Structure 1
Amino acid sequence: MRCDHRAIHRLRSGFTLIEIVCVLVLLGLMGLFGTQMLSTAVRGYTNARNADEIVQKAQMALQRMTVEFTYIIPTNMNGSANSIQYNVNINGTFETHLISQNGNRLLYRQGGANYTLLEGVAANSLGFLYYNTYAGAGASTAANSANVNLVGISFNMQGDDTSLGHSKAFSTRVKVNKN
């Protein structure tokens, strides 16, 4: 039996240069696609978190206004399409309150001091409608304080980064002076 040294040498030799280059190219492509998938997942998580934050802020502001409006004394309310000033009676104490929009903030004024009720509101999106009946008929953009039974509130929220396109409309109606 004759031994072919060239065949044995070929079997014992390592990878060829072409095989190594092909493996490196494939590993590079897998790394690229893996990075893209990871980046997309992180971006999706961030977008979802921002959208959730917008909803939570808006719901808290609507809840605050709902509680406030249940104490409104209708005969002492002055409202327009984008602001409302009203008197409340809390435990026998009368206070004047105002809710309006300034830039991207909803402002709440109580006792002469302004407080930020909500940030991230789309410019000029705060709106109030005033209804004479509980059924919602007779909507007006100006309050005739003696006849107002419901106040409709609406505004649009936008995220911190407007390039992401997070925008959502919120609205509700509140029965005034439930006492």
Structure 2
Amino acid sequence: MATSAGGAGERMPLPEVCVCYVLREWEGRTEVLLGRKKHGLGKGYFVGLGGKLEPGETAVEAAVREVHEESGLVVASADLDARGRLRYLFPYRTAWSQVSNVFVVREFAGAPAPSDELDPEWFPLDAVPLAHMWDDAKHWLPGVLAGGRVERTYVFGEDLATVVEARDHVA
């Protein structure tokens, strides 16, 4: 389990989250579904669909649930393609630190609709709005959307928005 430095030399587990990137073929190109966050952590940013794991829930189960809650789309756990794990460290706001399980899915049912959490929007892979996403996305998201994997740790600076360090992922 991923950990973060805790008090008195102990290591505390980081909260686990999931993020899922829904892909479709549309008019001869591949597109990804992103959502602009309406509130909370990352408000105003475009993000993949996802969120916190509920007690007793696996990352796959959470991804299926979160995709439906945030977009109305239905995906099957068997169709999720695990693409890696990201560890996010926020030394200046440790409550934001977390481990994210990354998935891609190409099979889904339904049409995306806005939710309380975000407004979904399709983007061609060559026009992903990286400048309007968390700073780390530019380093790994294009590769994952192209079929790659990611296992990295990103440390954010005092502004809580800028990556100040990236390193190979440590479980």
- Flag the structure with higher strand content: 2
**Higher normalized contact order (CA 8 Å, seq sep 6+, divided by chain length):** 2
- Flag the structure with higher helix content: 1
TM over 0.5: no
Q: Indicate the TM-score class for this superposition, using the shorter chain for normalisation.
A: under 0.3
Higher-Rg structure is 1
Give the TM-score normalised by the residue count of structure 1: 0.25
